[in-house]
Amino acid sequence: MQYLMLIYHSEAGFEKTSESDRAAIYQEYGQLREELSAKGKFVGGNQLLPTTVATMVRVREGKRVVTDGPFAETKEQLGGYFLVNADDLDEAIAIAARIPSARNGTIEVRPIAVRGKAVQA
């Protein structure tokens, strides 16, 4: 199965992180990526630029509405994602727990929908 891991963290907190700490975190991310790739588990993944450079697009009654945002009241923002192959949810959870941001943020693990799927083996 494929699982998307949505990586939520505090942008404000990340901004305050020192250069050297950031470098260590990126290195850890890189290692995890390599390790997953070697096992054929890594499908894709990226860090996202912060919500300050995000754009919200809606179409209402045929009219395009473009705004800045998001202005979520939440403390954590979507900061990146991993798309992985895992045998089951427990394996996915084990991978999610190794994502560095899990230690101060939250990883949301979502199974990818498969259309026309019959009985699950």
Partner 1 sequence: MDFEKLHREESGRILATLIRLLGDFDLAEEMLQEAYAVALQKWPVEGTPANPRAWLISTARHKAIDRLRRGRRFKRKGEEIAKTAEVAVGPESDREEEMLSDDRLRLIFTCCHPSLPMEARVALTLRTVCGITTEEISRAFLVPVATMAQRLVRAKGKIREAGIPYRVPSQEELRDRLDGVLLVVYLIFNEGYLASTGDALVRRELCAEAIRLGRVVCALLPNQAEAQALLGLMLLHDSRRDARVSPGGDLVLLDEQDRSLWHQGQIEEGTKLVETALRHGEAGVYALQAAIAALHANAKAAKDTDWPQIAALYDALLRTHASPVIEVNRAVAVAMARSLEQGLVLLDELEQREELEEFHLLPAARANLLRRLGRMPEAAEAYQRALTLATNDIERRFLRRRLAEIEYLGEAPD
User: Could you list the residues that contact partner 1 (CB under 8 A)?
Assistant: 1, 3, 86-90, 92-94, 111, 118-121
Is the separation of the CB atoms in 72 and 10 below 8 Å? no
Q: How far apart are CA 50 and CA 84, in angstroms?
A: 23
Give whichever of 7 and 86 is closer to partner 1, judged by the CB atom: 86
Closest separation in Å from C-beta 88 to partner 1? 4
Closest separation in Å from C-beta 45 to partner 1? 19
Q: How far apart are CA 14 and CA 51, in angstroms?
A: 13
Collect all residues with Cβ–Cβ distance below 8 Å to 105 and sequence separation of at least 6. 7, 8, 9, 10, 76, 79
Closest separation in Å from C-beta 1 to partner 1? 5
Give whichever of 1 and 32 is closer to partner 1, judged by the CB atom: 1
Closest separation in Å from C-beta 82 to partner 1? 16
Give whichever of 78 and 92 is closer to partner 1, judged by the CB atom: 92
Q: How far apart are CA 44 and CA 46, in angstroms?
A: 7
Give whichever of 50 and 111 is closer to partner 1, judged by the CB atom: 111
Q: How far apart are CA 59 and CA 89, in angstroms?
A: 35
